[in-house]
Structure 1
Amino acid sequence: MLDASFYEKTDEIIEQHTREECSLIPIIQDIQAEYRYLPPELLNYVAREIGITEAKAYSVASFYENFSFEPKGKYVIKVCDGTACHVRKSIPILDRLYNDLKLSKEKATTDDMLFTLETVSCLGACGLAPVLTVNDKVYPGMTPEAATELIKKLRGEADAEN
């Protein structure tokens, strides 16, 4: 159950748009930007507020791959496994990150909500392969060792913020 602040923030987001079906995607994009995922309770709330069925809202949100109903970490790491990256050994990088972060294909987010690890088909940076991104910042020419160092650096930044 979400606390009242989630609904208050969602009301603010809805007010920035029209209360029509055509505003569903921009509204849920803004919600996901705020919380790094789309809480299902808020999707239901938005559907009621803009006058569409929950089923319609879910069909739209689940159609687009970039909407996530699961909470994501502060740092979302996407490892490219497209052809160029795969040939240039992206899998050992992914394996190292799984090991360093104690994650798996079944468990994508660390318990401390600091990291989420995803594999993507292409990041559109084939000439820089192998590539990964952290919150959409591109890290080219990665190696397993460089990935480990990146995790240490990000952990240090997170500790410095706290």
Structure 2
Amino acid sequence: MVNHYGEQTASGHLHVPSESKEPYSAEVLERLSAEAEQVVARYPQPRSALLPLLHLVQSVDGYVTGRGIDFCARTLGLTTAEVSGVATFYTQYKRHPNGDYTVGVCTNTLCAVMGGDQIWETVSEHLGIGHDETTEDGKITLERIECNAACDYAPVVMTNWEFFDNQTPESTVRLVDDLRSGVPVAPTRGPSRVCTFTQVSRVLAGFPDGLADEGVGAGAASLRGLEVARREGWTAPGEGGDAQTATAATGTTAEGMAAGEQTSVDTPANAPDERPTSDGTEADK
């Protein structure tokens, strides 16, 4: 099967290459079916296994191919339209050949202010590719990410969903150059190395690689708030805290609490409105 890297098409890669619909070899199909059986067995309803199965076929083909869609549909008793609808909804599933390393640059508000926009522009120009495009050597797929969920280390870049914290345009250019040249690369936090896209897809399918417990998960910046709370003796309402503690946590005064003032902590956001009306009946829900 030929991999065609390059710029996005007008359809945004919604249509897979025709060669991706070629059937699996007997050997690959036998192994894939055996592993799919293990995945499906974890769920009370077979269709619930669709997400990990899509990762599984992606770990074999490097993206969600036409034959991968057919395989998932047959395995789970779904239509190909149902499977395709899921595969085109989530950005971790690729409908076109993906690089060995997906480099995601966060350009959401905080990272952008801290330099994420400049990182994106520099790396995009350096590689000669844009969002969701892949270098000609098939090594790097570049993505503009809305949020990497690591604002305390902004600006953040991820490579196959491993964290590279406090980045600069220069450090990110070095990162992609090292990845393309085969130099071993270790993330800021987590395992001792960055795995390839297909290896990570296999992990997401539910087959551990033994690296989950390596390295630091939450760094010093992530734990700063917890350290301050412990030092000051702050606790959450309902965990032994007094009115003053609750005030610090919720902004509600002690007098207001004594008078029955409601807070977002007490009342779920989706709770129905059951305030009594002037005639003593409940208001419309």
| TM class, shorter-length | 0.7 to 0.9
- Unaligned stretches of 5+ residues in structure 2: 1-18, 185-285
Q: How far did 1:45 drift?
A: 2.4
1:80/1:27 Cα in 2 relative to 1: closer, same or farther (>3 Å)? same
| Structure (1 or 2) with the larger CA radius of gyration | 2
* Matching residue of 2:49: 23
Q: Whose helix proportion is higher, 1 or 2? A: 1
The answer to whether 1:10 aligns with 2:32 is yes
Q: How far did 1:39 drift?
A: 1.2
* Matching residue of 2:78: 52
Q: Whose strand proportion is higher, 1 or 2? A: 1
Aligned equivalent of 1:87, options 106, 113, 119: 113
1:60/1:96 Cα in 2 relative to 1: closer, same or farther (>3 Å)? same
Distance 2:178 2:70 in 1: 38
Q: How far did 1:158 drift?
A: 5.8
Aligned equivalent of 1:147, options 158, 163, 172: 172
Aligned residues: 158
Identity of aligned residues (%): 28
| Equivalent residue runs for 1:32-51 within 5 Å | 32-51=58-77
**Which one-letter code corresponds to 1:86 in the other structure?**
A
TM-score of the pair, normalised by structure 2: 0.50
User: Is contact 1:72-1:116 (8 Å) kept?
Assistant: yes
Higher RCO (Cα < 8 Å, 6 or more apart): 1
Q: How far did 1:148 drift?
A: 1.5
SS at match of 1:16: helix
- Unaligned stretches of 5+ residues in structure 1: none
1:55/1:127 Cα in 2 relative to 1: closer, same or farther (>3 Å)? same
What RMSD over aligned residues (CA atoms) do the two structures have, in Å? 2.2
Offset from partner CA, 1:28-80 (integer Å, 9 cap, x none): 12222344421122112220233211111112222323222122111110000
1:10/1:127 Cα in 2 relative to 1: closer, same or farther (>3 Å)? same
SS at match of 2:143: strand
TM-score of the pair, normalised by structure 1: 0.84
SS at match of 2:99: coil
User: Structure 1 stretch 80-89 or stretch 139-148: which is displaced more?
Assistant: 139-148
Offset from partner CA, 1:6-31 (integer Å, 9 cap, x none): 53443233222338323222211222
Moved over 4 A (4+): none
